[in-house]
A and B are shown apart, each in its own frame.
Chain A
Amino acid sequence: MAAVRRLSRSSSAAPLRRLLFLRPFSSSFSADDQRVLTVETSLPFIGHKIDPPSRSVDTTPNELFSFFRDMSLMRRMEIAADSLYKAKLIRGFCHLYDGQEAVAVGMEAAITKRDAIITAYRDHCIYLGRGGSLVEAFAELMGRRAGCSRGKGGSMHFYKKDAGFYGGHGIVGAQVPLGCGVAFAQKYSKDENVTFAMYGDGAANQGQLFEALNISALWDLPVILVCENNHYGMGTAEWRAAKSPAYYKRGDYVPGLKILEMDTYRYHGHSMSDPGSTYRTRDEISGVRQERDPIERIRKLILSYELATAAELKDIEKEVRKAVDEAIAQAKESPMPDPSELFTNVYVKGFGVEAFGADRKEVKALLP
């Protein structure tokens, strides 16, 4: 409940994000600009067994710029990942988040790094939002040693322990009961933090989601179950998969909130193996891109308040592009993990592990 109250407070109370600007702006904006801007969301919030927050939201220029830069960074990273995948530098499965950046960025604006986030496999941008570095992200995607999971997880398994990011999960819906467990631990240690257990509209029909809802309500856990509804579970539209796609109401006795940004859209297919056009039309995709793209919305806001010129915003995007390119170059230099790493961390190290090596020799680790 605490986090819901936090979300409904004006966002200017959230800590200001520090920005790195290469050149000063010529417009009316300066980094000391503390004025509060009031924006009305294009759709009101809808509550289920809860009073929804007001659709008038306060923000500051700094915050808008941070949103713009962060979302552009995420967008650029995902597009770069797309190219790397096609160049076969990223193998395996790669699920891209472009179009959904607002969810990650908006959530981070309302919470702290002491809160926990757990999500499914579309996790690159959540990782970035939690403070993950571009180099570690690209290195992990390419399976290199410098990756955040040491190259052993890949696209679907990004983690960041010091920022409370519990990953990165391949099996649909499996992360939600895990999130409840994390929340229980938080409640038990009385540290006043909460857990955001994220899942998609596809996962909303998994049995374990209902189990998680019941457990979290029964034990009053500080968990917020976040459904990122991009309207397609792989290739199945939500209205084909769910009797009631009003996922915020699924909790029944659990209060729910329908938030504009969570009603989101992914431009890419489900994964890089999915063209994304066999179950939806290209017109639909380009329509959403024109009307509901989150980066464009922020751009329009910034321009309408005359905080920067269009050219200055383009400069931010160029800076972002450069940062991504540099990160990719650095990640490419990282070597593949050592072959011995195939056997590490199956169990706790040195706990009597026995495995067959590639040359048919038994590899035994002795008990200490």
Chain B
Amino acid sequence: MALRGLGRRISIGKRCFSSASEVEKPPRDGKPINLFSAINQALHIALETDPRAYVFGEDVGFGGVFRCTTGLTDRFGRNRVFNTPLCEQGIAGFAIGLAAMGNRAIAEIQFADYIYPAFDQIVNEAAKFRYRSGNQFNCGGLTIRSPYGAVGHGGHYHSQSPEAFFCHVPGLKVVIPRSPQQAKGLLLACIRDPNPVVFFEPKWLYRLAVEEVPEHDYMLPLSQAEVTRQGSDITLVGWGAQLSVLEHACDEAAKDGISCELIDLRTLIPWDKETVEASVRKTGRLLVSHEAPVTGGFGAEISASIAECCFLRHGLQLEAPVARICGLDTPFPLVYEPFYMPTKNKVLDAIKTTVNY
């Protein structure tokens, strides 16, 4: 399985970081922990540093279905960390109201597949609160965290990637981490960001991804993409669990002499267009990859934006059409998951096609 060597790969990848800005110096100390532990640490710190922070959702009390909330109830009490009934719309609305009173409401939706009853609240209430009240009110303290993405056997309702629906809503931020160390910093940044944020956690990586994560409080910047691998022939853009697939594809492509530049978008909206643009100017080729179905996925937005700005300018141009390697346009299937997913081989095939265009 492509992800088996992920932990090792990520610690190697860390040393090769050269990020777009000096602000981001990845902290170097820390113990190797997995994704759910990193998220857990972030939540502990968030509640510790802000007495008006609350964590709630279905079954979070005993630690949650993915153990992201272990130890919180014991440490901070049932008044700040509590279970909700099974009612996503109610959870979201309640969180928005709590945030509107100046609190940090950290709501959990147990699986991103269940976020749709809350969609109305998020789109119509959370995203528009500041705008429609002329800045009198806001729910900036709102963070909704939810596990998303394929897990190997999740089927229709435990595997979806709904990020594109939320990227279509001005007023929201959408953030997706690729690894434990990134997740802790990004989650703390999201919780403290004065805008409502939807934070999708790649559930496949909860146990699988292990990385050295510093124990102290640190944040990573939002709306800043990270170039995790320098290259010159083609730019690859992705987020979340897909980054690891793309990394493997880059390694394979390197054997054929293709030098790939890999960018982790991290924040999907508002996305760091400058970093991607600068990279495509350099390489002249772009490939976007995500698990969500290709039609209307967020890759379409990146593709159109880059085509618009980089089509032909100052002698540098796009040498090939933007490639999108994404999930198929079907409901997330049951036994067909291996066919549906944007696998390393599909990406590699597209890299070669694009480079040889």
Instruction: Mark out the residues of chain B between 39 and 91 whose CB falls within 8 Å of any chain A CB in the assembled complex.
Output: 58-59, 61-63, 65, 83-87, 89-90
Docked pose: A202 CA to B88 CA in angstroms = 12
Name the CB-closest residue of B to A235.
B59
B328, A342: Cβ atoms under 8 Å? Answer: yes
Assess whether A202 is in contact with B86, with CB atoms less than 8 Å apart.
yes
Q: Mark A224-266, 1 if CB is under 8 A from B, else 0.
A: 0000000001111000111000000000000000000000000
Nearest chain B CB to A348 CB, angstrom units: 14
Interface string of B324-353 (1 = CB under 8 A from A): 000011110111100110000010011000
Q: How far is the CB of B47 from chain A (nearest CB, A)?
A: 20
A358 within 8 A of B: yes
Q: Does A45 contact B (CB under 8 A)?
A: no
Q: Is A235's CB under 8 angstroms from B335's CB?
A: no
Inter-chain contact B329/A356, CB cutoff 8 Å:
yes
For B330, give its contact among A171, A205, A342 (CB under 8 Å): A342
Q: How far is the CA of A234 from the CA of B86 in the complex (A)?
A: 9
Which of B153-161, B242-250, B258-266 has 4 or more CB atoms under 8 Å from chain A?
B153-161
Which of A152, A208, A240 lies in contact with B334, CB distance below 8 A? A152
Within the assembled complex, what's the spacing in Å between the Cα atoms of A143 and B350? 31
Closest chain A residue to B152 by CB distance? A91
Quick check: is B311 within 8 A (CB to CB) of the other chain? no
Which of chain B's residues have a CB closer than 8 A to the CB of A234?
A: 58-59, 65, 86
Chain A interface residue number, banded: 35 or more
Within 8 A of B (CB), among A186-222: 202-203, 205-208
Interface majority SS on A: helix, strand, loop or mixed?
Answer: loop
Q: Residue-by-residue, is A150-191 near B (CB-CB < 8 Å gives 1, otherwise 0)? A: 011110110000000000001111000000000000000000
Q: How many residue pairs bridge A and B at CB < 8 Å?
A: 112
**A278 → chain B, closest Cβ, in Å?**
5
CB distance from B146 to the nearest CB of A (A): 14
**Max chain B C-beta neighbours (<10 A), residue from A208, A234, A236:** A236
Residues of B within 8 A of A356 (CB): 294, 328-329
A173 touching B157, Cβ below 8 Å: no
Which of A92, A235, A240 interacts with B154 by CB under 8 Å? A92
B330 touches A346 (CB 8 A): yes
Interface presence of A52 (CB below 8 A): no
Cβ-based interface call for B321 (8 A): no
Asked if B114 contacts A171 (CB within 8 A), the reply is yes
Does chain A have a CB within 8 A of B117?
Answer: yes
Rounded to whole angstroms, the CA-CA distance of A91 and B158 in the bound complex is 12
Which B residues are in CB contact (< 8 Å) with A25? none
A29: Cβ under 8 A from any B Cβ: no
Residue in B87, B114, B339, B346 whose Cβ sees the most chain A Cβ within 10 Å: B87
Question: What residues of chain B lie closer than 8 Å to A143, measured between beta carbons?
Answer: 334-335
Closest A residue to B341 by beta carbon equals A358
- Is B335 a contact of A206 with CB atoms below 8 Å? no
Distance from A266 Cβ to chain B, minimum over Cβ atoms (Å): 16
Please state if B86 and A152 are interface contacts (CB–CB under 8 Å).
no
Smallest Cβ-Cβ distance to A341: which chain B residue: B336
Binding site for A on B (CB under 8 A): 58-59, 61-63, 65, 83-87, 89-90, 113-114, 116-117, 152-158, 294, 328-331, 333-336, 339-340, 346, 349-350
Interface CB pairs A-B, < 8 A, 11 = A170-B157, A171-B113, A173-B86, A207-B87, A207-B117, A234-B58, A236-B58, A241-B84, A278-B63, A342-B330, A346-B329
In the A-B complex, the 10 residue pairs with the closest CB atoms: A205-B85, A170-B157, A143-B335, A91-B153, A241-B85, A235-B59, A342-B336, A202-B86, A92-B155, A154-B334
